[in-house]
Structure 1
Amino acid sequence: MRFLVQAAPTATRSLLAFSVSPRRRPGFATTVPHHRRNMTAAPAGPTPQQAKANGDKTEIKILMLHGYTQSGSLFRAKTRALEKLLVKLLAPSALLPTLIYATGPNRLLPSDIPGYQQPPSAGSEGGTLSDEAPPPPPDAWAWWRKDDATGTYRFFDEGMAAVAAAIRDAGGVDAVCGFSQGGAVTGVVAAALETGREAPDGPQGDWVHALREANGERALRFAVSYSGFYAPVERLAFCYEPKIETPTLHYIGSLDTVVDESRSQALVDRCVDPVVIVHPGGHHVPVSKEWAMPFAGFIKQHATLPQPKPGL
């Protein structure tokens, strides 16, 4: 059965998992939970209830992955309001979300950025060339570069190495949240960190082992994707078959003209019990309270579960 539930305006709301209608309206829907074969658990640290009783807060570390042409600092600037709301909404539950922003390793040239116009140099007049140095390249980065001729991802291993380094520097993370290309990376990372998923043999699987080592051989508690999409390349097929069992929350803009809905739906379809939020906007991260509340509820729901057990 497929149905939609409009987002309630109340300050508190339980979050349910759901299935999505092909023609979406803003809101969120639900499905019956599915048994997750990989998500065995072992206690790790105080529960939120114990932390609250002690007057402490349980930190939930979330790695934030920006979109194509962005950077970690730019993504943080765009989601600062969301970060503040999450902290406020989760404070009564003794949870402290800590958002960690990484930057992709592949710097983009102006020619790589759709619609980019090179600003005039400081000494130019009316577009006339000057003897001064040209302006610096834009602060635009990517996790990988798609080769249109072959359909493969160039610099993919470098991108995953940067993600592993960010996880390692953070001392491990509980979750990953990404926007656009970062949303695609989020699905890949969540799958790769699942302890029951077999990594590719040989060098093709080195990036998987590096990610798992960086996170202490632990799966993520959850993953969140804004305008993310399925990455249909052969070397990543193992990430989607079997389906991603890490709990996932997907935000999709009903007016998004950058990432087609079918691409986001393809990622949703490759997750077990995905939660999908449809917002009435385009290709961006909605940061108002109405759209932060489902995120906060999702964090609360999965932060209260035991930590996934390390692989043997």
Structure 2
Amino acid sequence: MEKLKILCLHGYRQNADFFREKTGGLRKLLKKYAVFDFVSAPHIPAAIDDANTSVDDNRGEARGWWFSKPDNQFSSKDVTDIDTGFEESVEKIVKFAAEEVISYFPGFTGPYDGLLAFSQGAAFAVLLAALRARKEINMEFRFMILFSGFPSLSTKHSELMETHLGDIYCLHVFGENDKVVDFQVSEKLVGMFDCDKCEVIVHKGGHLVPALSAHKQAVTNFIQKMFELTFPGSSA
């Protein structure tokens, strides 16, 4: 049976196993259409950050995609010329995707059809899409699902953030009560995509991957559309 292959990118101070646990409900909802693979960021943050990050003592070894501070920490609110570790993270993901082996689902091979990402992982996914659009990396994917995403404020990423992502479908999901990334900040990413390829879900929660029970049909419809575009004539 054909299924979409989706690579999942965790948030700051999370890791692959933690994010897999936190997306259990979503994966169950979409298992008819997709398999989900997970990868940890390569960098270890220096210390527990402030209120600009979400904290969970049981998340395991903390990881990050890049740092915005000279002491190897990160905040989505930092306007900075620092992006320590970003290039290494890009290299890791491009190499990981090129291996064409779905690590959590032996028997499925790549490339990935889409990215599902949360918080800093969502910001990183947008930057990957921009690098792809500018032909600066060799990594193909058709769509993204972004939870609590935000635009990078590093000046090193300014040109990337001006890139129009016209051939990528995107489902944006963010919470009205997000205290880490204001939903109005998440909304800024929407303008990078063509309006006919972009959908938005605003939930009542905070900085998390919500259960989405109230938006079950909208999420399912998006994934079903991606399935039909990827596998014309097939049925899940």
Q: Under TM normalisation by the shorter chain, which class is it?
A: 0.7 to 0.9
Q: What stretches of structure 1 move > 4 A for 4+ residues in a row?
A: 113-117
Give, in whole Å, the separation in 1 of the partners of 2:154 and 2:24. Answer: 33
RMSD: 2.5
1:75 corresponds to which letter in structure 2?
F
Aligned pair 1:108/2:45, yes or no?
yes
2:128 corresponds to which letter in structure 1?
V
Q: Which residue of 1 aligns with 2:190?
A: 268
Change (3 A) 1:149 1:78: closer
Q: Which runs of 5+ in 2 are unaligned?
A: 70-77, 102-109, 232-236
Give, in whole Å, the separation in 2 of the partners of 1:268 and 1:157. Answer: 24
Give, in whole Å, the separation in 2 of the partners of 1:253 and 1:116. Answer: 14
* 2:123–2:149 Cα contact (<8 Å) kept: yes
Number of residue pairs matched? 208
Give, in whole Å, the separation in 2 of the partners of 1:86 and 1:149. Answer: 37
Residues 244-294 of structure 1: CA deviation (Å, up to 9, x unaligned): 121111001010010022321221122221211000100000124333432
Aligned pair 1:71/2:15, yes or no?
yes
Q: Which runs of 5+ in 1 are unaligned?
A: 1-56, 120-136, 200-207, 308-312
Aligned pair 1:258/2:197, yes or no?
no
Aligned pair 1:181/2:103, yes or no?
no
Aligned pair 1:86/2:8, yes or no?
no
* 1:68–1:140 Cα contact (<8 Å) kept: yes
1:165 corresponds to which letter in structure 2?
K
Q: How far does residue 66 in structure 1 lie from its aligned partner after superposition? A: 0.4
SS at match of 1:225: strand
Identity of aligned residues (%): 30
Q: Name the TM-score, length of structure 2 as normaliser.
A: 0.78
Q: How far does residue 158 in structure 1 lie from its aligned partner after superposition? A: 1.4
Give, in whole Å, the separation in 2 of the partners of 1:230 and 1:142. Answer: 16
* 1:66–1:179 Cα contact (<8 Å) kept: yes
Q: Which residue of 2 aligns with 1:35?
A: none
Aligned pair 1:162/2:92, yes or no?
yes
Give, in whole Å, the separation in 1 of the partners of 2:151 and 2:54. Answer: 26
Q: Which residue of 1 aligns with 2:218?
A: 294
Q: Name the TM-score, length of structure 1 as normaliser.
A: 0.60
Q: Which residue of 1 aligns with 2:227?
A: 303
Give, in whole Å, the separation in 1 of the partners of 2:203 and 2:88. Answer: 33
Higher relative contact order by CA 8 Å / sep ≥ 6: 1 or 2?
A: 1
Give, in whole Å, the separation in 1 of the partners of 2:160 and 2:127. Answer: 6
Give, in whole Å, the separation in 1 of the partners of 2:92 and 2:229. Answer: 28
| Higher deviation after alignment, 285-294 or 185-194 | 285-294
Residues 115-158 of structure 1: CA deviation (Å, up to 9, x unaligned): 899x9xxxxxxxxxxxxxxxxx9511100011358442111111
Q: Which residue of 2 aligns with 1:13?
A: none
